[in-house]
Amino acid sequence: MKKMRLLVAGVLLAASSVSTWAQAVKSDSGVYIGIEGGMNTYHVSEKDAPSNRNYSDSRNAGALRALIGYRFNPNFSVEASYLSLGNFERELVRGARRWNLKANTDAFDVSAIYKFTQFVPGLFIRGGLMNSTVSVQIVDEIPGSYRSTRDYSRSGNGYLLGLGYEFDLTSNWSANASFTRLQRLGGSWNDEATVNASLYSAGVKYRF
């Protein structure tokens, strides 16, 4: 009987050790998903259609990001995400003539993330590549006599760089806040326009 109790105790101890090891492995690596929301600031430089003069403008819009990633260890992970940026709007009035531009962006990106576990635990840096499409609508009108609408889009590759902070809420859930610079939205524009963005976001992740 004593041997049986020792055997059972040994099995329970081994099972406990395996469970603890499995939890440790689970927390250090594996798949995760997340969602983020925030504010995006467009930085646009191009020619103003009515006057044909160069201008630079910054406008704020909402942003939503859905992501899936894999964490290889507590420091390094890789993410893929879909990002939707709200409308950039610009309107000019010249006498009776009104000119309105509205644009929004959809992007897919793949990025590598390094998260610090020493010095400033939770601080992370991000870098990656993205493919984005900027959809534009231009309305040129003189109310009551003339109206012209033009829709077009530009797609291309760019890159992103970011900095943020993440902290655990539970063993599976974490929260984060970050700043990401998005360069070359829509890729290279034929008319030498440049569209970049600064994204300020916060969100949550769930680790499986």
pLDDT by residue (tens digit) across 128-142?
Answer: 999 999 998 989 888
List, as one string, the DSSP characters of 125-171: EEEEEEEEEEEEEEEEEETTTEEEEEEEEEEEEEEEEEEEEEEESSS
CA 37 – CA 117 distance, rounded (Å): 25
Instruction: Name which residue leads in pLDDT, 21 or 188.
Output: 188
- Among residues 88, 117, 98, which one has the least CA distance to residue 195? 88
Give residue 52's pLDDT: 60
Sign of the C-alpha dihedral computed for residues 150, 155, 160 and 164 taken in this order: positive
* Cβ-based neighbour number of residue 85 at 10 Å: 24
What global pTM score does this model have? 0.77
Domains, the chain: 30-207 (2.40.160.20)
Q: Which helix (H) or strand (E) holds 88?
A: strand 76-94
- Digit-coded pLDDT (tens) for 35-55: 999 999 998 887 665 556 666
Degrees to nearest 5, angle at CA 52 with 51 and 53: 90
Q: Are 162 and 173 in contact (CB under 8 A)?
A: no
* Percent of the residues in the chain that have a pLDDT greater than 90, as a whole number: 53
Give residue 19's pLDDT: 39
CA 200 – CA 198 distance, rounded (Å): 7
